[in-house]
Structure 1
Amino acid sequence: MKRRVFIQKGALSGSFLALGGSQLFAMQNEIKLPQRTFNLHYAPHLGMFKNSAGDDPIAQLHFMADQGFTAFEDNEMRNREVALQKKMAQVMQQRNMQMGVFVAHKIYWTAPNLTSGKLDLRDEFLKDIKASIEVAKRVGAKYMTVVPGYVDMSQNINYQTAHVIESLKQAAGLLEPEDLVMVLEPLNFYNHPGLFLKESAQAFQICKAVDSPACKILFDIYHQQIQEGNLLPNIDACWDEIAYFQMGDNPGRKEPTTGEINYKNIFKHIHSKGFKGILGMEHGNSQPGIAGEQAVIDAYVACDNFL
């Protein structure tokens, strides 16, 4: 199948004025414009639409763009083959999609790493950050996810916080010259018991201490609904340190409208504050197959209808 080329509506008239009628008809038949325009940059991930688009990551990217999604995120991007990274970056550029987050480093789920203050574990983390800088350049990403890891039960929480801040300061020193941003993701106690970073206020405090444009917050609405609730006031309280959002409804971590979170109001609030960044669709599908994938699209269409 010939690759479909995305051309924004605003660029069509100027680009086609010089073409004859037959050429214009032929080129129009090559173009597949998005089915809709969203108010915010929602970012699906690979696998979310595999029944509709097939297993090929490139076909899935085209399908996302066809549906009107203007961003994409991929936690596993740094582990993919370089050739595929480059090909995906090319398609995102062609289809006018932004690259969202990928996970920047090895995450310690059950043992302390950054909280411990051990230099070998800090060096491992910084080595991962250096490697992820190259991935970010390759795929056109600005943001990468950082999770400081497990608590160290042998140390006072304030010492642990100081160790984490020092590691992040050194990472920020690597990222800042490249105009890249690590986004710290607090994770809830229910799905991830024992992790150090859990609450938005804690992430806010750490970002203020690191004091770098390269260290910001990934506010995952699903995690924070479980961990602390009070979503809109907490978003407002740490707004100037938030660079990225992720979603999932609760309970179940499926698409909006399947649980208790009023995503239409949340999207309206985020939009009203002038947010121009990416909102990652880090959740599963509540229903199987093509019908379930259409349900995801329909949920975002419904929740994005707030103007």
Structure 2
Amino acid sequence: MERRKFLQNGTLAGISALALGSTGNTAQAAAPASTSDAKGKPFNMNYGPHDGMFKNSAGSDFLDQIKYAYDQGFRSIEDNGMLGRPAAEQAKIGELLNKLGMTMGVFVVDTGNNWKTSLTTGKQEFKDAFIKTCKESVETAKRCNAKWATVVPGYFERNLPIGVQTANVVDALRSGAEIFEPHGLVMVLEPLSDNPDLFLRTAEQSFEICKAVKSPSCKILYDIYHMQRNTGNLIPVMDWCWDEIAYIQIGDNPGRKEPGTGEINYKNIFKHLHKKGYKGVLGMEHGNASQGKEGEAALIKAYRDADSFL
């Protein structure tokens, strides 16, 4: 399923609801707190839900969902489609986040060419579209207080050698970095697993490109779900590429749902990130394993469980 579609469908999965019960609390390791006791306490790590994740509990208005997420202890959000929201709505979201002391996570630099052969070709039309969207993204970032924006270079150009494709992508990204740098905005390159046509596939490849771009505004988005599917070896690869990683996203595999629904040991990964001193956002870019308010409560409990690593 393509990245742009999964959020629309993620909450419809027909997996049975996770059982509600007690969950560990880091301040009371000897006497684990109940889920209700933990409610509202900030998590050890900075997890960021997205629009629709708590719609059954908070309603369809994203602003109300943000308030609800804050009340559950979350201190960030992310919104892939922020660029497409009206400017007034972007500003309202930024104002609310500022009032609550929450962080705005990534939104996508969506040129309309992310899911086709584009930047790898070296064609000026695609580079121009990318530069135009980067400039629009700066204005969006100002309104919603964003610091990171996701960039997807598109598909392979199978008629060109891989080195030429890479050079074309680096050239375009340097132009984008020049736009972002004066504003302190960082584009984070996301290697993906959605289909084999995508040019950017691994963290190591992204690391190489970031080193070639040589800009503080060009870093890696390490999406744990995609990296598990493409390469595995999650913690060692993360450590190899650490100085170029600026943002991390979450999703268990298989299924792309909350921690505890698949094969990834998220408690161990969160513990590792905590030890490394990671203070950034961990974007919850996944669907809900179960539907309704019960599914949303189970999702929160899953994060309480995975976050109880201290």
Distance in 2 between the 1:204 and 1:107 partners?
25
The alpha-carbon deviation at position 109 of structure 1 amounts to 5.2
Native 8 Å contact 1:107 1:148 kept in 2: no
User: Where does residue 14 of structure 2 map in the other structure?
Assistant: none
Does residue 160 (structure 1) correspond to residue 146 (structure 2)? The answer is no
Distance in 2 between the 1:268 and 1:107 partners?
37
Does residue 193 (structure 1) correspond to residue 181 (structure 2)? The answer is no
| Superposed counterparts of 1:137-286, under 5 Å | 137-188=142-193, 191-286=194-289
The alpha-carbon deviation at position 107 of structure 1 amounts to 4.9
User: Where does residue 117 of structure 1 map in the other structure?
Assistant: 122
- Deviation track 1:183-222 (CA, whole Å, cap 9, x = no partner) reads 000001xx22200000010000000000100000000000
Native 8 Å contact 1:107 1:147 kept in 2: no
Distance in 1 between the 2:308 and 2:48 partners?
17
Normalising by structure 1, we get a TM-score of 0.87
Native 8 Å contact 2:114 2:152 kept in 1: no
| Superposed counterparts of 1:10-49, under 5 Å | 35-49=40-54
Distance in 2 between the 1:204 and 1:278 partners?
19
The alpha-carbon deviation at position 294 of structure 1 amounts to 0.6
Native 8 Å contact 1:107 1:149 kept in 2: no
Distance in 1 between the 2:116 and 2:86 partners?
29
Distance in 1 between the 2:256 and 2:225 partners?
7
The alpha-carbon deviation at position 76 of structure 1 amounts to 0.4
Percent identical across equivalent pairs?
55
**Alignment counterpart, residue 79 of structure 1, candidates 67, 80, 84:** 84
The unaligned stretches of length 5 or more in structure 1 are: 1-32
The unaligned stretches of length 5 or more in structure 2 are: 1-37
Native 8 Å contact 1:111 1:149 kept in 2: yes
Native 8 Å contact 2:114 2:153 kept in 1: no
Structure 2 letter corresponding to 1:255: E
- Secondary structure in 1 matching 2:108: coil
Does residue 104 (structure 1) correspond to residue 104 (structure 2)? The answer is no
Native 8 Å contact 2:113 2:126 kept in 1: no
Native 8 Å contact 1:104 1:146 kept in 2: yes
The alpha-carbon deviation at position 34 of structure 1 amounts to 6.7
Structure 1 letter corresponding to 2:116: A
Distance in 2 between the 1:250 and 1:140 partners?
31
Structure 1 letter corresponding to 2:230: Q
Structure 2 letter corresponding to 1:257: G
CA RMSD of aligned residues (A): 1.2
- Secondary structure in 2 matching 1:217: strand
Normalising by structure 2, we get a TM-score of 0.86
